[in-house]
Amino acid sequence: MDGMINYKVADRVAVITLNRPEKANAQNYPFLYQLNECWERAADDDEVTVIVLQAKGKHFSAGHDLAGTEYPKTDELRSQGKFDLTHHYRYELKHFLGYSLNWRNVPKPSIAAVQGKCIAAGLMLCWPCDLIVAADNAEFSDPVAGGLGIGGVEYHGHTWEFGARKAKELLFTGRTIDAYKAEQIGMVNRVVPLADLENETMALALEIAEQDPFALLQAKRAVNQTLDIMGFQTALQSVFDIHEMGHGAMWSRRSEGESRGSALERMKERNQEIAQRQRTEAKA
Ligand code: ZN
C-alpha cells in the first residue's frame, strides 16, 4: 500500500510508516483512515507477530491537520449549516478516541519509533503502542489545553503516561519534554541516537517476534487488563467528554464571533512563546 501510510511485512514484523513528511505527518481524515486499515491488517495477519509504527521525515507527527478537511462530509454539512456538535462528537469518538483505543487493544505487541516533534494528537499515535523507542531528538508536548482552551487531546493518556503531577505541569504550561526526561518518567522504553532509531527498533521487534505469539498476547493482556481494572479505558471515555465540553465552549465563542482562524493563530503564537521560553532556559 502506498499513500500517506506505507505498510510492509518481513520476518514476522509488520512495519507501518507514516508517510506525509512534507506536512510533518499531520493527521487528516484519509491519513487516519489508512492508518487504521494498516493496524487492522496487521492485527488479522497470521504472518505478523509484532507491529512497528514509524514515521518518515524529521518529525513523528505534528498532530491533527488543523488546516485540512476533517472528514469527507464536513465541508458539505458545513455549507448547508448542518454540521453541529453531534457530528463533531461522533467524528472524534470514532476517529480519534476510538481508533487509538483499537490500536492499543490489538492483541499483538507494538512498538513506536519516535523522532523529532510529537505534538498533541501525535501522542495519540505513539501512546497506544506497547513500547516506545525514542530518538535522542524526540520531543513530546500537548499544547491544546492553553492553546485552544481544551483540556488536552481526545485520548487522555497524560495522567497514565506522565504521572499526575507532570501531567498537570505539561498541560498547564504546554511545555515539551525531551526523550531523556520521557525515559526517566517511564513514558519511553529507551532513547537511541537518531541515526540508529530504525535499526534499534527493528532489532527489538525481531527479538520479540521470536517469542510465541500466544505468550505475547497473554503478557500484553495481563498488563492491559491490570490498567483497565485500575480504570484506564473508563477514565479515557470519561475525559473524552471533558474534551468535548471544551469544543462546546469553542463553538459558543465562535457563535459570538471568534473565527476558527483566530483561535488557531492564538495557539500558534502561544506555541512560539513557549518554545522561545524553553530555548532561553536551556541556554541559561
Ligand atoms: Zn477534539
Question: In this predicted model, what pLDDT tens digit does every residue of 81-100 receive, in sequence order?
Answer: 777 888 889 999 999 999 99
- What is the whole-number distance in angstroms between the Cα of residue 121 and the centre of ligand 1? 9
- pLDDT computed for residue 87 by the predictor: 85
Torsion of CA 200, 223, 170, 114, to 10 degrees: 20
* Three-state secondary-structure class, residue 178: strand
- pLDDT computed for residue 257 by the predictor: 76
Phi/psi of residue 133, nearest 5 degrees: -105, 130
- pLDDT computed for residue 144 by the predictor: 84
Q: pLDDT-derived band of residue 69, with 50, 70 and 90 as boundaries?
A: low
- What is the whole-number distance in angstroms between the Cα of residue 148 and the centre of ligand 1? 10
- pLDDT computed for residue 268 by the predictor: 79
- What is the whole-number distance in angstroms between the Cα of residue 215 and the centre of ligand 1? 36
Asked if the model's pLDDT at residue 64 lies above 50, the reply is: yes
Burial class (CB in 10 A: 0-12, 13-18, 19+), 122: buried
Q: How far apart are CA 136 and CA 47, in angstroms?
A: 32
- What is the whole-number distance in angstroms between the Cα of residue 280 and the centre of ligand 1? 31
Catalogue the long-range contacts made by 266-275 (C-beta closer than 8 Å, 24 or more residues apart).
Answer: 266/147, 267/143, 267/144, 267/147, 267/148, 270/143, 270/146, 270/147, 270/174, 271/143, 271/147, 271/174, 274/143, 274/173, 274/174, 274/175, 274/176, 275/176
- What is the whole-number distance in angstroms between the Cα of residue 203 and the centre of ligand 1? 36
Query: Is residue 179 a contact partner of residue 132, using CB atoms and an 8 Å limit?
Result: no
- pLDDT computed for residue 270 by the predictor: 80
pLDDT > 90 fraction of the chain, expressed in percent and rounded: 73
Asked if the model's pLDDT at residue 72 lies above 90, the reply is: no
C-alpha closest to that of 97 among 152, 159, 23, 60: 152
Domain at 5-283: CATH code: 3.90.226.10
- pLDDT computed for residue 79 by the predictor: 77
- Lowest model confidence (mean pLDDT) among 49-53, 119-123, 132-136, 249-253: 249-253
- pLDDT computed for residue 1 by the predictor: 44
Q: How far apart are CA 115 and CA 97, in angstroms?
A: 23
Question: What's the pTM?
Answer: 0.93
- What is the whole-number distance in angstroms between the Cα of residue 19 and the centre of ligand 1? 23
- What is the whole-number distance in angstroms between the Cα of residue 254 and the centre of ligand 1? 15
The secondary structure element, H or E, covering residue 6 is strand 5-10
- What is the whole-number distance in angstroms between the Cα of residue 264 and the centre of ligand 1? 13
Q: Which residues contact 154 (CB under 8 A, 6 or more apart)?
A: 92, 96, 97, 100, 121, 124, 240, 243
What mean pLDDT comes out for the span 230-258?
A: 89
Higher pLDDT, 10 or 71: 10
- How many Å separate Cα 246 from the centre of its chain? 19
Q: How is residue 154 annotated by DSSP?
A: S
Question: In this predicted model, what pLDDT tens digit does every residue of 211-223 receive, in sequence order?
Answer: 999 999 999 999 9
Asked if the model's pLDDT at residue 51 lies above 60, the reply is: yes
Other beta carbons less than 10 A from residue 231's beta carbon: 12
Q: How far apart are CA 261 and CA 269, in angstroms?
A: 12
Mean pLDDT score of the chain: 92
